[in-house]
Structure 1
């Protein structure tokens, strides 16, 4: 296990280093000048030059890269050009909404997908299977922002059960109030993801159901439900966990549209606003953070492979 973990850690570090270089270089070649945008089109060249020197964007690229990487190790991500606020404070403030939203959406996705996928597989080629697969096809086809608008019209405008948008904050409304405010956005994100994961779960469960050990368990008197949840599901979890990892990473990085629909001050809106303001230091750190989250999630998925199926660890060594 130690060799397996060591190899995965080396891959994790190498990927993060390569990602930091790519993120920095891509943002470097973008046209435009942050100092010019902040000062306005009528600013004098001397004032723009002075601001560029103050922000440090007139230094060589390699110097700024090493300052950025070194700052990340010390928790110093620099100051936002537009807000004159430490970038770390801006990111932590927005992550306090984006991470709970992604976790809620992922929890709803897992529950809905596993129930629907196992149910459909247990009724293969029957009415229940056809009905569930039809619903998942509709779920995949529905854009999450359009479904979000439908949720607002039904639960906010008609029933008045939830707020139509905004976030009251964890301090003002408490945990329950905050979770209630995130329920509709989480549900709008979970619909598409659960539809995809349900189809993957169904296919994986059907493949395992054909294995000899399942027939042996059924011959020994194990009920169909017991075989599904006790034997089949764990052996079918490898492809399901793979998709779960990809979906969670997507939920962390791709909430900008839903955050805009519900007017949530999350990380996606911060990135959008920073791009508009040419606040590249915020964009760079946010993109690096999201990329690191994706890499770390994939690392955790690799570890889960070895926990779910020890043969994966043995074959890798």
Structure 2
């Protein structure tokens, strides 16, 4: 097991290195000049050249990448080319919105997808199971923006229970208002991602219910539902853990879109703004941070999968 963990950590390090190179060099291919953005439209070529020199943008691209990579190894994501502020500090500030949004969305997705997925599997030949399957399939196809607009219309405009947009200026110093601001965005992401997860759970539960050990447990006097929950859930849990690793990427993409819709000052909204401003240092730091989150969670999923499945340990 130790060797497996060390191998996964090594692959994680290699993945981050490859991701950093792809992000850095891809951003340099994009059209536009950050020096021109800083200087303004009325600037002279000499002024633009002076800004490029002061920012180090005139150096060879490999030298620029080496400097950025050296900073990453020291835990330094660099500074904004436009505001000179620390990228790491701004990411930490914006993460106070994005991380709770992703966590709340994941909790909402699990709260309704796990029980309803099992219900849809147990009652798959009844009306209730068919309805759950049909509704989940429809929700999984709903665009996040449309779902968010519907929730705003119902809970903010019609009922007036929740704020439609924004986040408190004092942040989490006003926890009540901050939580209220995240309810609708979290519901928007959680419902859609939960509908996708529900379908996987239903499929895994249906497959597990046909296994011999579940039928044997039912033959000993257990109900079909109890036999599935007590004997089949370990296999269902393996599928859930695997899918959750993929769902994280969906949560991150959903957060970027939803932060725009609900005017949340999170990482996604900052990323869109920095791309428009051609602030390459901030953009590459933000993209690398998001990529690192996905890769780390993927590594954790692999390790948890190995811990939950004794067959993999025996094979190893």
- TM-score, scaled to structure 2: 0.95
Alignment of 1:1-317 (within 5 A): 1-168=1-168, 169-174=170-175, 176-315=176-315, 317=316
Partners of 1:133 and 1:250 in 2: how far apart? 21
Deviates more, 1:7-16 or 1:195-204: 7-16
Q: Which runs of 5+ in 1 are unaligned?
A: none
Runs (4+) of structure 1 exceeding 4 A deviation are none
SS in 2 for 1:57: coil
1:254/1:268 contact within 8 Å kept: no
1:249/1:297 contact within 8 Å kept: no
Aligned length: 315
1:101/1:185 contact within 8 Å kept: yes
Partners of 2:41 and 2:295 in 1: how far apart? 40
Distance 1:305 1:87, change over 3 A: same
Deviations 1:239-278 (A, max 9, x none): 2211111112321244122111110011111110001101
- TM-score, scaled to structure 1: 0.95
Q: Which runs of 5+ in 2 are unaligned?
A: none
Deviations 1:219-246 (A, max 9, x none): 2233334323222122122222111111
CA apart distance, 1:171:
3.5
Partners of 1:35 and 1:314 in 2: how far apart? 58
Partners of 1:314 and 1:41 in 2: how far apart? 66
2:101/2:186 contact within 8 Å kept: yes
1:99/1:252 contact within 8 Å kept: no
SS in 1 for 2:174: helix
CA apart distance, 1:124:
1.6
